[in-house]
Amino acid sequence: MMIDELHHFLYLPGMQTPKDVTLLLLLVLTCFCLCFSASYGDTLPATDSAAEAAPIEIHEHDHDEEESEQAAAGQQERKGPPTVGTFLLSNKFLAFYILAVIAVVLLFKGWISKPVRIGMMVVAFVLFGMEMIFPLHPSPMCATTKLFMFRFTHGAFFPQFLALFGLMIVFSLVARKLFCGWICPLGAIQELVHKIPGVKKFKFFNFTAFNTVRMAFLVLFVLTFFAVVDQVGALAERLGEDSSAGLWAAYSAYSVYAPVNMFELLHWQIDTWFVVMAIVLVGASLVLYRPFCYAICPIGAISWLLERITPGRVRVDHNACTDCGDCSEKSPCPTIGKIVDGKSVVPDCTLCGECIPVCPEKAISFGYKSRG
Ligand code: SF4
Ligand code: SF4
């Protein structure tokens, strides 16, 4: 009886059955409980530049400062510098794994609905995009760009960036855009904004144009390390800093991603630039599905390339499909119609799973094997 009343009280538009409400509640509660407790004593260093890329921070203590510094130094000495494994086993990464497992289970079971999706996006955004529970750093953008900047300015890959970049690649290989679709906070906020009703959505925009811009960003970024080395060196000298820090500043100045890095918004430093970027992102997301992912993000570009070889994906049973077009009409993305049509180049599938329940013939599912 109480459960029924709870269901009645919590019904939201789009929820079809009490199962939807139960699922949503369970998902949100599980994620918050697991990840909140996991966040205690998080040891990820919140570095954002070469200069700050100091070894790992140790827990804060209530004791007096000097004592705690000594303890930290001793602990640091025993632990040694952080490695990729240090980060892969940190609490923030544990939260990534939890969300990824939940996502795969939901997709396999087909337990996807708009409220479930909204719940999961809110969880991802609050956990990773508000700097309250886990630090944003490194963002997917930083994990990609700074990984290579470290290599070219300091001569080695920094483990924190390597860990996140590697994890995003592995997740994208396990299931199409698993990281983008279920974990990335910027992806989540764009999708949440896109779900706001009452604004006309432009689903069938020119994906090739968007993708060309995205690929051009990626190519130009890579070329920075080879085509403008002399200019970067000259700028570093003019800056007059020691070689690594000067090179870092010079590469940062030359990075094509620097002026369009919307992840900067998630540092919540509210100034004029923040307001301009926020208006652009919210405005674009209201009418387009994940515009930043489709047009700019390097991880969006790389994971789109990986989509071709990833076996875990949304699949269509062409024997069951009656070509009614319901999936295309009711899904938020421009992708499912192209998948149904068997096109070889399709816009990004973020693996949201929303096309699965809308097919009246149950011809769409998530899986690892072709369905005919
Ligand atoms: S494409 Fe980039 S911004 Fe979009 S979800 Fe993936 S990592 Fe996040
Ligand atoms: S095809 Fe579209 S609706 Fe279906 S899972 Fe991919 S992004 Fe979501």
Write the DSSP assignment of 180-199 as a string of letters. Answer: HHHT-HHHHHHHHHHT-TTS
Reduced to 3 states (helix: H, G, I; strand: E, B; else coil), residue 313 is: strand
What per-residue confidence (pLDDT) applies to 7? 54
Query: Closest ligand to 181 CA?
Result: 1
Which residues approach ligand 2 with their CB closer than 6 A?
314, 331, 333, 335-336, 339, 349-355
AA identity, residue 158 = F
Q: Which residues contact 260 (CB under 8 A, 6 or more apart)?
A: 217, 296
| Assigned token pair, 357 | 């329940």
Kindly report the average pLDDT of the chain as a whole number.
85
Q: How many CB atoms lie within 10 A of CB 76?
A: 15
Which of 169-173, 211-215, 233-237 is predicted least confidently? Answer: 233-237
Distance 55 CA to ligand 1 centre (A): 28
Asked if 217 and 256 touch (Cβ cutoff 8 Å), the reply is yes
Kindly list the distances between the CA atom of residue 352 and the CA atoms of 4, 164, 191, 236, in Å, as whole numbers in the listed order.
Answer: 28, 21, 10, 44
AA identity, residue 186 = L
Residue 187 near ligand 1, beta carbon < 6 Å: yes
Whether pLDDT at 53 is above 70: no
Asked if 149 and 245 touch (Cβ cutoff 8 Å), the reply is no
Q: Give 145's pLDDT tier (boundaries 50, 70, 90).
A: very high
Q: Which residues contact 267 (CB under 8 A, 6 or more apart)?
A: 131, 136
What per-residue confidence (pLDDT) applies to 26? 65
Reduced to 3 states (helix: H, G, I; strand: E, B; else coil), residue 300 is: helix
AA identity, residue 195 = K
Distance CA 127, CA 32 (A): 8
Q: Give 43's pLDDT tier (boundaries 50, 70, 90).
A: very low
Q: What is the pLDDT of residues 290-312, one digit of tens each?
A: 999 999 999 999 999 999 999 99
Side-chain-facing half-sphere of 289: CA atoms under 13 Å: 20
DSSP 266: G
AA identity, residue 131 = E
Closest CA to 247 of 258, 256, 234: 234
Closest CA to 162 of 84, 45, 57, 50: 84
AA identity, residue 28 = V
Residue 140 near ligand 1, beta carbon < 6 Å: yes
Query: Closest ligand to 351 CA?
Result: 2
